[in-house]
Structure 1
Amino acid sequence: MNVAAARLWAVTQAPYLASALFALRPIEHPDGPPGVSADADWNVHVSGDLPAEEAGWWLIHHVGHLLRDHPARARGESWPLASDAEVNDDLPPPPFPAVSPDTLGLPPGLLAERYLELVGLIDVPPELVACSAPPYTGPAVMTDVERSLLVRAVAADIDAHRGAAPGGWRRWAEEVLRPAVDWRALLATLVRHGLGRATGRVDYSYARPSRRSVPSVVLPSLVRPVPRVAVVVDTSGSVREEALRRVLGEVDGVLRAGAQVDVICCDAAAHPPQRVRRAQEVTLVGGGGTDLREGLKAAGALHPDLTVVLTDGDTPWPATRPRHPVVICLITPPDPAAVPAWAHVVRVES
């Protein structure tokens, strides 16, 4: 088998994977049946005689498994089917019946772990060819540090070829280059930061006289005002109540230390504010269209120290920055371009 020709074909098909394709170390097995397989140490085992196009397709396939760390993620006897579905989702159909979301009748764009759950619910066509563990092994091609550097280099190449790389590879590169942050921790940080100036404010007030005594004089004492928080909840039909309740619970946990909270439900119009002490007390009202400009306008009228918005982002936004800090919790977020640049954004995991 001409490995150089196969690798050249693979690079022309997926130039964004060139670094990974050239990192593979070929090991030939003259007596083995025709095929291409790879082990977890980046050795590609070739035997027999396959056309360059078919062998190149397998090279891209195996690079997909290795870059996505499928050998380490493997679990369950159906893992080969599930991991192949994730990898082959981003490949053109080969000249043989291979496993893919389409051939399995499953939705595209999922991770192998989710395909593993779904594969157990369907009858898999017996003619589909799934990738299996190679019967060969070889020495490690690179160290863990070198492998990590290679993964980031490939992710950067994919980011540079965004117009050519399939969606699955773009999502993978995004996770490598900009790993997801725990949204709960980020939300807590942003809320506390937004309230920092309010909690740091002190002023003199005669409502509570000072303990210091001066004959014939009443002295004021220093008081710390209670922070005010407005929570605007998108109650249009596009946002699930279950998700809203979950995020409201997280906001509740952050604010439990003490803040005055007003919740404004908003669909096409802003509903009257609800003064609450706990998230469980909120009554979600609405269900029509969405215009959170009305909700933010209503929140501004309360002069809050911070506004927290719970939404899926499918709404018009104010063109200018509100006078108070705004944190937007995006539930099942759309294109980030739909979010205003003046807001702090937390992407809530579904």
Structure 2
Amino acid sequence: MSVMDRFAAARLLAAARAPYLASALFALTPLVHEDAVGACADANWNLHLSPATAQAIPVEELAWSLLHQVGHLLRDHLVSGRDGVTWNTANDAEINDDLGAAPATAVTPDRLGLPSGLMAADYHRLLDLIDVPSELTPCGGAPFTGPAVMSALERDLLARAVASRIRGEAPYGWRRWAESVLRPSVDWRRALAFLVRRGLSRGQVDYSYRRPSRRGLPHVVLPAMVRPSPRVVVLADTSGSLGEPALRRVLGEIEGVLRACGHRGVEVICCDAAARPVQRVTRAAEVELVGGGGTDLRKGFEAADAPRPDVVVALTDGDTPWPERRRRAHVIVCLVDARGTPDVPPWASVVRVAA
């Protein structure tokens, strides 16, 4: 079996063991060369494979290594600026805590005599208090970097796509990571619930048999009072004034809105100098951020009127002309990387996203 065949078999096995990581595993670009040591990834999502190692180790162990390397990449260990043996050991302890069946020389919290379930920073502090067994070898990243196959924004989209697929059956460390990736700066659940309490959702309050009243009479089922969820349209500023870090925060807030809406789906309109077609999405990773020109959110607000929303969430740096008249929907302007104090109209609610 060739090196690439063994890699393909190991990747399929790894995806079967951790299906929530499948999209990350298939994003790896294998580079087979003699200078590689084992199987190590670089920050550009290239996997450097040594032909000798790939042929020598069992496919099951290579599958474990792929999951380990994906753990480094998704948790940004290779771009954090923290290196050295101690940090590599701490990073490995955090990742391998979730993998199980580790090779004999792999670093795990149990083999270090440390508690499980901690973050790399916690293990880093504790490593100063212990002697690391000499037979344990942290892997670290590849000593050289291959070509860039994804932009920073594409890597962020991939991470969000992976995080959105992680559920309760995943190990605790991966669930904790997913929560941190998908956590927005704004508590959209509370914000939208407040708007519903103010009666901004069409239909106001009504009766429903979906959730029967607890005060039902004997042999009689009575309806309960329910509040409908507001219809939300997200207006995403994709003009050239927003760089990739700001666009990543835009995606984070879109994910927060979706979670507040129960992932039933929202309409997203990207806008630079023109409004782009409406995108109906259930996950932020599905959003195609199109644009890059000048800024005129007035076009976006006009396009947002068509779905007749209850709430329009405008994610922008505020450097744009604004509509002169109040909108029918309630407007929340979420300022991302705003410079100074943008002149937001008084009829809009304003929140700021921390950098």
TM-score, reference length from structure 1: 0.49
TM-score, reference length from structure 2: 0.48
Q: Which has the larger radius of gyration?
A: 1
